[in-house]
Chain A
């Protein structure tokens, strides 16, 4: 097991970063978020030309047969760009749910011809996988609602987990609600005796845990962009006849933030190298907070411009704050560590 990046991962990073620099600069994301946030053209290129959609899918099922490490690197880059593409929702969460079934749909997802979403609230967690869903199955028909579903608006297929089974449902409208994260809107999915094809069994908690492991890489990318952009700004911005980055009040905050990001990188790599319950809980408990802190520090240290719509830092703040809730809050993951790391609570103790 290694916490370093492999050469293959660095090459993958370079191609994703080059494409995003060209097609998805922050200004372009900002321009589209209010009309049509998800960039499906960009997604087609990422999936078709770089092959990111099939990274986690074995070669015999039409994918690239890569691992979580490669997917993590892609997410770092997507996080750095707050890229509005359904990689995490389709190529990670939905794909991970489908993998044990070896369903033929995997081949279509790998090619990027179709996109799927897991019909589970983005606010659900490995510890409470059913949060936000009232879906039940009756004679092969599915009814109920799921709130806060990420990626549902652009999905061709919804994968609906019900009582340990996974159903593929098509042609269901997802109603997008105004979302805190402009670059990854969530939707309400309503099923009314919808016809579902049972594709196999589904361990939803394990699927969400895997998603949480990879979300830590995206959070790392968000934090890195915020730190780097802020560093560049405080070197440029002059007040009192010197760059504000020369004041210790600013430098010390950025040194602390850098240290948090360094540790977030170690946590993210550990979670993809060993996606055990402990590693994932540690990575989420740490990285979710680091991404939020980095975005909040970026906003504050940009001063007035950081508070404007025209500067992209708010896209990162909104992504970070939503991602903090997604797949379990840092508090949920810390509470899970009480038993995972044998740090039992005060049950039976006296106050």
Chain B
């Protein structure tokens, strides 16, 4: 499938479906036409085409009803690729369509109070009971759990083997009895995250994703996709957070100082070389030779977002804050809020989706081939680990 063929398909689709009609009907039809994510297989919203051709579809359909990339972020970026890689045919058919159209929102039940960077030490238990599993435990930092229909869940199914081997991955029914979602108020004032308590939650075995005991491998697929999703940066020179800072800088000459000017120019250069690096990475992907550059993108953007948002607050010399109200947010409204909010929210960028320290370990070990630290927990059964 090439660009011309894709364009022709889009044109035919638009002849048959009126973008001005019902939004949901249009999105469902778009999925059924294989124009949701073209690199997915036919029948599952795609055409089995090259991933880069998605840009062509997005351009051609720019003026039609759109999905909500923010609210649906976890579904699109993490659940979908995992379901595609490990789901049964039935699971793919059941979940992918409403996931893409946004009829069903997804959340991610990975981190626990005792398992963050060391995710594989997690303790939420799933015990088999006939055709069902009974889940007990607590998850945390769960964005969007308050409006999620489904969650991707990693559990401990065998405490007697070393931690990486005794896990199993499920799709969690967020409407099942025993699922309790409590808001977790953040330093920004709002509650975008949640704590999720799972008490005697019964999940049928057909909600299991991958083999029993293979949960770590399934989770790796999710995490790799998470980092790609979080690390995707601006493609335009001076775009992203830099654009917000530059606009303010140009509008307020009275606030400029020599010191800020020097620092802003340094940040501008860093943002630009990071953008170029992302552009080079995308070229490698098109050419079919993905380089290891991707591993560093999230690290770069975390640093830049934090430096730029901190700069922005200092530049404005505004001692106020836009809104401390404790409210449930739909998604991260990064650009709709003030500099103070951006500064505080960006603090999470070096923690969520793998801390910057863990990412440095990954680069050092997987890209640079440096030896790992001595591990004391590798061959110890999970139940015997010190905690």
Binding site for B on A (CB under 8 A): 2-4, 231, 234-235, 242-243, 245-248, 250-252, 254-256, 258-259, 262-267, 269-270, 282, 285-286, 334-335, 337-338, 341-351
Contact = CB atoms under 8 A, between A and B. Distances in A.
B246 interface: yes
B131 to A, nearest CB: 45
B305 to A, nearest CB: 15
B266 A251 contact: no
B279 interface: yes
27 contacts: A2-B283, A3-B276, A4-B280, A231-B370, A242-B371, A243-B370, A245-B370, A246-B373, A247-B373, A255-B299, A255-B361, A258-B367, A266-B276, A266-B277, A266-B280, A267-B272, A282-B269, A285-B269, A338-B261, A341-B238, A341-B268, A343-B246, A343-B261, A346-B258, A346-B261, A349-B254, A349-B256
B21 interface: no
**Smallest CB-CB A-B distances: 9 pairs:** A251-B364, A346-B256, A266-B276, A255-B360, A255-B363, A246-B371, A263-B273, A3-B280, A266-B277
Contacts of B367: 255, 258
A269 B370 contact: no
B59 interface: no
Interface string B361-377: 10111011111111000
A262 B296 contact: yes
Nearest to A290: B273
A345 B273 contact: no
Contact of A286 (B238, B273, B357, B363): B273
Contacts of A3: 276, 279-280, 283
A255 B364 contact: yes
A158 to B, nearest CB: 34
Given A3-B276, A255-B367, A346-B256, 10 more contacts: A4-B284, A4-B287, A251-B360, A254-B370, A255-B361, A263-B300, A266-B273, A269-B280, A344-B253, A349-B253
A90 B252 CA distance: 47
A2 B270 CA distance: 20
Contacts of B299: 255, 259
Binding site of B, secondary structure by majority: helix, strand, loop or mixed? helix
Q: How large is the interface on B (under 10, 10 to 19, 20 to 34, 35 or more residues)?
A: 35 or more
A248 B258 CA distance: 37
Interface string B327-364: 00000000000000000000000000000010111011
A342 B297 CA distance: 26
B370 A251 contact: yes
Nearest to A257: B368
B64 interface: no
B265 interface: yes
B242 to A, nearest CB: 10
Contacts of A234: 370
Interface of B: 238, 246, 249-250, 253-258, 260-262, 264-266, 268-270, 272-274, 276-277, 279-280, 283-284, 287, 293, 296, 299-300, 357, 359-361, 363-365, 367-374
Contacts of B283: 2-4
A245 B363 CA distance: 13
Contacts of A351: 257-258
A266 B360 contact: no
B363 A264 contact: no
Contacts of B374: 242, 246
A158 B16 CA distance: 72
Nearest to B363: A255
Contact of B369 (A231, A282, A341, A344): A231
Given A262-B296, A264-B273, A343 B268 contact: yes
Contacts of A347: 253
Contacts of A250: 370
B268 A337 contact: yes
A255 B368 contact: yes
Given A252-B357, A265-B280, A259 B300 contact: yes
B253 A267 contact: no
Contacts of B279: 3, 266
A343 B265 contact: yes
Contacts of B276: 3, 263, 266-267, 269-270, 282
A343 B287 CA distance: 35
A252 B374 CA distance: 16
A259 B363 contact: yes
Nearest to B262: A334
B296 A259 contact: yes
Contacts of B274: 263
Nearest to A259: B296
Given A4-B283, A252-B360, A235 B369 contact: yes
